[in-house]
Amino acid sequence: MYEGPVQNLIDEFGKLPGVGPKSAQRLAFHLLQAEPESVERLRSALQAVVDGVTYCEVCGTVSAAERCRICSDPRRDPTLICVVEEPKDIEAIERTREFRGLYHVLGGALDPINGIGPNELRIAGLMRRVGEEFEGEEIAEIIIATDPNTTGEATSTYLARLLRPFPELVVSRLASGLPMGADLEFADELTLGSALSGRRILSGGPSQPARSGGVLRPEQSEPRAPQPFPEPSPEPAEQRMPGPDSGAAGWTGLSEVEEPRGVPVPHRP
């Protein structure tokens, strides 16, 4: 235990998420040995956060202006919106370089136990964006990218139900499954089940019915029209059922001297 301001600084650092007692102590003594200019920059940054943070008027992420750099980028696709929980999720998706649409930050997930309901999230803003046009373009698809946990799945289900009245709007969900480089033997049942349900087709035509977990559900099978029974064709005399006076030769259609022959197979010259 230290005395005075040093211990107070260690205690404040220890309240930060992911910072333990040892890390808090190292941070405090690092500031004691740092240059005054570095400490002043840190104090100014903290004061700017206390004074207020600007959020994008479109997507709700942290921004330095009224609109963030993503919403202000004309190269982005305004018809595609990815819904995330927190601003930090945007950076995770941007690192993939696979998404070229816009975002919408909810500010959390539905958690009734902790008192977080639809009114505490930016769900109303999402509904307004869906009903209106952005830069002259209508939204064509909503990608729900909430966390794959209990609150994230509840939020995804709630949003999908709210967006159901828009028949032309495509609502999708990020796939969950096995991470790259993982082994199947170490995957849990929930992760492996999600990987089976969200698998992608590598080959094959669209005529194949959708399946879940490798098992064809009854509602997925297409009803087939009843096929008429073929007319019975007359059997040759040598293949008919033998009569009461006929022997084994009458059953096979072969005489006692004749031996059965195989199917002739043509040979290459």
Cα distances (Å, whole numbers) of residue 265 to 57, 190, 261, 268: 78, 54, 12, 10
Cβ-contact 102, 81 below 8 angstroms: yes
Q: pLDDT tens digits for 22-55? A: 999 999 999 999 999 999 999 999 898 888 888 9
Q: pLDDT tens digits for 85-138? A: 999 999 999 999 999 999 999 999 999 999 999 999 999 999 999 988 776 778
Determine what percent of the chain is predicted with pLDDT higher than 90: 49
Is this prediction's pTM over 0.85? no
* CATH code given to domain 5-51: 1.10.8.420
Q: How confident is the model at residue 265 (pLDDT cuts 50, 70, 90)?
A: very low
Tokens of 21: 């007692």
Q: What residues does 80 pair with on adjacent strands?
A: 141
* pLDDT, position 247: 47
* pLDDT, position 138: 86
Answer yes or no: is pLDDT of 246 > 60.
no
The least confident of 36-50, 92-106, 174-188, 230-244 is 230-244
Phi, psi angles (nearest 5°) of residue 101: -100, -160
> Under CATH, to which class is 77-176 assigned?
alpha beta
Answer yes or no: is pLDDT of 230 > 80.
no
| 141 CB neighbour count, 10 Å cutoff | 14
Tokens of 219: 């509602």
Of 162 and 220, the one with more pLDDT? 162
* pLDDT, position 4: 84
Cα angle 105, 131, 68; round to 5: 35
Cβ-contact 123, 159 below 8 angstroms: yes
In the β-sheet with 77-84, what is the strand arrangement from edge to edge? 101-105, 77-84, 141-144, 170-173
Tokens of 181: 């480089």
| In the chain, where the domains are located | 5-51, 77-176
The per-residue pLDDT of the chain, averaged, comes to: 80
